[in-house]
Structure 1
C-alpha cells in the first residue's frame, strides 16, 4: 500500500480527542494525545511537537515513526510495542509531516524550528535596530524565514504556484522593510525605548501581509470545509478568512513578550555601567532571552485557537449555506476546517 494511502492526516470526527477503540482497546493515533477542545490540551500538544530537539531527528527516525504508526493502524505492529513508543512515534510524525498531505516538511519550516530560528532572528533584530542597513538586512532575513514557515504550514488542500509564492514573498518583505524604515525614521528624535520597538512593529505589519499573501488561493477560492464525520461539504472564503486571521493573531502573540518586554529590560540594564560597557554581551543576552521566551510562547501562540477550526453554517456564503441546508436540513450547525499554523 502506498504511503499516501497510509498517512494519518484524514479529517477526524472527534476534533482531536484521543480515543480507545472500545472493541480492540487500541489507541486512535490519528489525533493528538491531548484534548484539543481546551487551551491546556492544545498547549500540551504544541509544547510536545514544537520541542526544538525534534529538529535534529534523522530522516530514518522520522520514517521509522511513520512506519510504526502505519503498522499500528493495520494491526501489524511489532510484538511488545508499548503505548509510550506509539506516543513518541506520533510526536515525531506530527512534528515533521504535514497534517493535510502527509508529506515531510522542510526542517527549517517546521514548528520545531520556531524556537531556534526565532531566537536567532529576534536577538539580532532587537540588537541591530539603530542603523538603516542593519534594519533592512535583518527584516529581509526574518521575512524570508517567515515566508518559508508560512508556506510549509499552509493548508495543503489549496495549491499555490511558484509565481504566487514569489509575489507573496516580495510583497511581505517589501512591506516589512517599508514599515521598519518608516518607523525607524520617525523615532530618530524619540526616547531610546521607542526606537527599540521598530522590530516588533515591522514584524507585526509583515505578518498581516505575509500570511494572507502566502495563502491567497484560500482567500480567492475558499478553503475546504467538512462536517463532523470528515465529509467534504464545499469551499468557503469566509472560513479561509477566519483561519487566516487566527493564524496572524497567533504569530503576533508569539513575538509580543520578547519584542515588547525585552526593550524595557534592556533600557533598565543599560542604567548600569558594567552592562553598558559590555556591548559584546547585548546580542547574546537578547538572543538567549528571546529563546527562553519562545520556548513558552510558541506553544501558547499555536494553542490560542484550535487547529481544526469551525464556523457556524449561518456564517458561510449564501450559496454554500443553501447547499448544505438543502442536502442536510438543520442536521449540520457547524462546519470544520484546518486553519493552518
Structure 2
C-alpha cells in the first residue's frame, strides 16, 4: 500500500508539465537534504513534494534528468492515446502495423529511460534492440489478427492486448540486454556497491515484464467489452465519430489506476540472497563484506 501511494504521486501526469527550473530546484533540495545540508526553513511537506518531483523526473541510479516521454509520469497521457488508437483502429492490416510500431517505439523509449544501472548502451545495441522488439511486436500482432478471423468478432478486439503482452516479453529484455550480459549494480543495505550481477538483472527484468503486462490488462481488456456493447446502441451508430474519444477516455481511466498499482507490485529496490548470485560475485562479497547475506538493486520500471 505504501508503494502504491508512492507511485500514485510519481506517476501523476501533472508533473510532466513542470518546468526545468522546478525540477532542478527539487533535485537541489533532495541532494542537499541527503548530504545533511537541509535548506533553512524547509518544511516536511516541502521536502516530500520535492522528493516526489525528483523521483518523477530523475533516474535513481544515474541521477540524470530523464527524457520527458520516457518518464513514468508520462505513461497515462501517452499510453491512453496510443492504446486507445490501437483498440479503435484494429480492423485493417496497415492500421495494426502502424499503431504497433508507434507503441513499440514509445515502449523502447520508456524501457531505455527506466533501465536499471548506470552503464551506457551503445547506439548499435540500441538500434538492434529497437528493430528486434518492434519487428517482434508487429509480427505477433499480424499473427494474432490472422488467427482471430476464424473466431467471434469480440476476440479480434483483444488482438492488440495479445500483441502488447507478447511484445513486452521481447522489447524489455532486448532494450536491457546489456544488463543481462554484464549485470546490474548490487549493494548492501547501506547502499555500498558490491559488484554487478546478471542474475539480479534477470530477476529485475522478469518483474518489470509482469508489471507492464499487468498494466496493460485493464486498459486493453475492459474497454473492448464496453465498446462492443456500446457500438450496438443507436446513438453510436448515428455518431460513429464518438468511437475513438470514448475508447481513449476509457483507456485513460483504467491507466490512471493500473499504472501506479502495477508499478507497486514489486519493490523498486528489490533484493535477493547472496547465495543466489554468481559464484565469483558470492566469493567477492564474502571477502569484502562477510556479514552481508542480502543484496539490493534497482529493478527499473
TM, length-normalised to structure 1: 0.85
Mapping 1:247-262, distance limit 5 Å: 247-262=208-223
- Structure 2 counterpart of 1:191, from 146, 152, 163: 152
Equivalent positions of 1:164-183 (< 5 A) are: 164-183=125-144
Distance 2:280 2:217 in 1: 39
1:288 aligns with one of 230, 249, 273: 249
Is the deviation greater in 184-193 or in 270-279? 270-279
- Residue in 1 aligned with 2:234? 273
Once residues 270 and 161 of structure 1 are traced to their aligned partners in structure 2, the CA distance between those partners, rounded to angstroms, is 47
Q: How does 1:298-313 map onto structure 2 within 5 Å? A: 298-313=259-274
Q: 2:65 maps to which residue?
A: 104
For residues 151-209 of structure 1, the C-alpha deviation after alignment (integer angstroms, 9 at most, x for no partner) is 11112423210111111110010000001111111112321111001111111111111
- Structure 1 residues 324 and 75 mapped into 2: Cα distance closer, same or farther (>3 Å)? closer
Residue by residue, what CA displacement relative to the aligned partner does 1:128-173 show, whole Å, maximum 9, x if unpaired? 0000000000000001100000111112423210111111110010
Partner of 1:159: 120
- Return the offset for 1:63: 1.3
Structure 1: give runs of 5+ residues left out of the alignment.
Answer: 1-39
* Aligned residue number for residue 338 of structure 1: 298
Alpha-carbon distance in structure 2 between the residues aligned to 1:72 and 1:234: 27
1:328/1:55 CA distance change after superposition, 3 Å: closer
CA–CA separation in structure 1 for the residues paired with 2:37 and 2:176: 39
Q: How many residues align?
A: 301
Query: Aligned with 2:95: secondary structure?
Result: helix
Any conservation in 1 of the 2:117–2:184 contact (CA below 8 Å)?
A: no
Paired with 2:284 and 2:28, the residues of 1 have a C-alpha distance of 40
Q: Distance in 1 between matches of 2:194 and 2:296?
A: 10
SS of 2:295's partner is: strand
List gaps (5 residues or longer) in structure 2. Answer: none
Q: Is the CA contact 2:158–2:220 (under 8 Å) kept in the aligned structure 1? A: yes
What is the rounded CA distance, in whole Å, between the counterparts of 1:229 and 1:71 in structure 2? 19
- Does residue 226 (structure 1) correspond to residue 187 (structure 2)? The answer is yes
- Distance in 1 separating the partners of 2:156 and 2:238: 20
Change (3 A) 1:78 1:233: closer
Any idea what SS the aligned residue of 1:274 has? helix
- The residue aligned with 2:88 is 127
Q: Equivalents in 1 of 2:189, 2:63: separation in Å?
A: 21
Cα distance in 1 for partners of 2:35, 2:265 equals 34
Q: CA deviation at 1:318?
A: 2.0
Higher deviation after alignment, 96-105 or 73-82: 73-82
- 2:202 corresponds, among 241, 260, 271, to 241
SS in 1 for 2:270: strand
2:175 alignment partner in structure 1: 214
Deviation at 1:323, TM superposition (A): 2.9
Q: Give, in whole Å, the separation in 2 of the partners of 1:205 and 1:253.
A: 12
Partner secondary structure for residue 157 of structure 1: coil
Name the structure where helix makes up a greater proportion of residues: 2
The 5 Å alignment of 1:25-40 reads 40=1
